[in-house]
Amino acid sequence: MAIQKIGIIGLGLMGGSLSIELQRTLNDVYIIGLDHNKKHCSQALGLGLVDEIVQTLNEISKCDIIFLTIPVDGIITIANEIKISNDKFTIIDFGSTKEKISESIPKDIRANFVTAHPMTGTEKFGPTAAIDNLYTDKVVVLCDIEKSGVHQQEVAKKLFFGIGMKIVFMSAKEHDKHAAFISHMPHALSFSLANAVMKQEASASIIALAGGGFKDMSRIAKSSPNMWEDVFRQNRTNLLEAINAFQSELTKCQKMIENEEWDTLSSWMMEANTLHNILD
C-alpha cells in the first residue's frame, strides 16, 4: 500500500492532537506540517507530531489530504491561495465558524473542501498542548456537505470515524447560530468574568479564595486571543444575539435579587437545572 501523505497546517493543540490520533489509527501515514511559528515547527518535530516540516503552501499541496487547524481568517486566506493538484485532493478545515468560510472558498475548488468543526478542545495552545484522545467520542459537525465532492465526503467520514468521532450534519448557517450559544458566547462570558475580577482592587484576595466553580467558569479565558478575535468577528451577528439572550436572563436574576423575590428566583434556578437532563 502506498504511503498516505497528510498535511497539517497549524501545529497547535488541534493539529498536534489530530496527528497523534492519525498516527495511532492509520497505517503507512506520513505527516507533513506547516506553521508560521518557527518554534511550533521545531517543537512539533521534537515531539514526533510530524515527520517533516515544509515552508510553503506549494510544498504541502503535494499531500493527499490537508487539514487546516488554524484561526478562521487564516483558513479563508489559504482557501484563496492554495493550488489544487487533482480532483481527489481533499482539504478539511477545523474552523469554529463555518458560514463565512464555506462561502469564501473559490467555486472551482469548492468540491475539494470539507468544512468541519470538531466540538472539542482545551484552553491550552501550541504543540506542547497536544494530547491523546482529544477527539475520541466527541462530535464533529460537517457543514454544507453537499458542496463537497463524493470522494472528499467519504475521506472525511472515514477519517473522523477512524479517530472515534461522532458525525453530525447541518448547514453552515445553522451551525454558526448554534455555536454562538454553546461555544462563542461562553468564551465571551469567561473573558468578561476574568476582566471583571482583575479590575477589582482586591483581585488578588478574591482569586486566593477562588474555588472550583470560579476556576471552571474562568478556565477558557486562557484561550488564544488571536483565535477568538477572528471567531467573534466572523460570527458577530449570531454572537451578539447570544450575548443579548444571556443579558436578558442575567437582568431577570438581578431584578429578582433586588426585589427579594426568592421563591421566583428559586424556580428560575430550578428551570436552569433541567439543562443537565439533556446534557448528562
Alpha-helix runs per DSSP H in the chain: 13-25, 38-46, 57-60, 72-79, 99-104, 150-162, 172-179, 185-198, 203-208, 212-218, 225-234, 236-258, 262-273, 275-279
| Positive or negative: CA dihedral 87, 91, 97, 101 | negative
Confidence at residue 280, expressed as pLDDT on a 0 to 100 scale: 64
Q: Which of 34-43, 118-127, 208-217 has the highest mean pLDDT?
A: 34-43
Confidence at residue 1, expressed as pLDDT on a 0 to 100 scale: 45
Confidence at residue 161, expressed as pLDDT on a 0 to 100 scale: 95
Mean per-residue pLDDT for 114-121?
Answer: 93
Q: Is the pLDDT of residue 129 over 70?
A: yes
Q: What proportion of the chain, given as a percentage, has pLDDT over 90?
A: 78
| pLDDT digit string, tens, across residues 48-105 | 999 999 999 999 999 999 999 999 999 999 999 998 878 899 999 999 999 999 999 9
Beta bridge partners of 4: 29
Tell the CATH topology of 4-170. Answer: Rossmann fold (3.40.50)
Confidence at residue 190, expressed as pLDDT on a 0 to 100 scale: 93
Please state the domain extents for the chain. Answer: 4-170, 175-279
Q: Is 102 in contact with 144 (CB distance < 8 Å)?
A: yes
Task: Work out the mean pLDDT of the chain and round it to a whole number.
Answer: 92
Q: Is the pLDDT of residue 206 over 80?
A: no
pLDDT band for position 2 (50/70/90)? low
Tell the CATH topology of 175-279. Answer: 6-phosphogluconate dehydrogenase C-terminal fold (1.10.3660)
DSSP string for residues in 73-130: HHHHHHHTTPPP-STT-EEEE--S--HHHHHHS-GGGGGGEEEEEE----S--SGGG-
Q: Is 144 in contact with 117 (CB distance < 8 Å)?
A: no
Q: Which of 26, 22, 33 is nearest to 1 (CA)?
A: 26
Mean per-residue pLDDT for 93-119?
Answer: 95
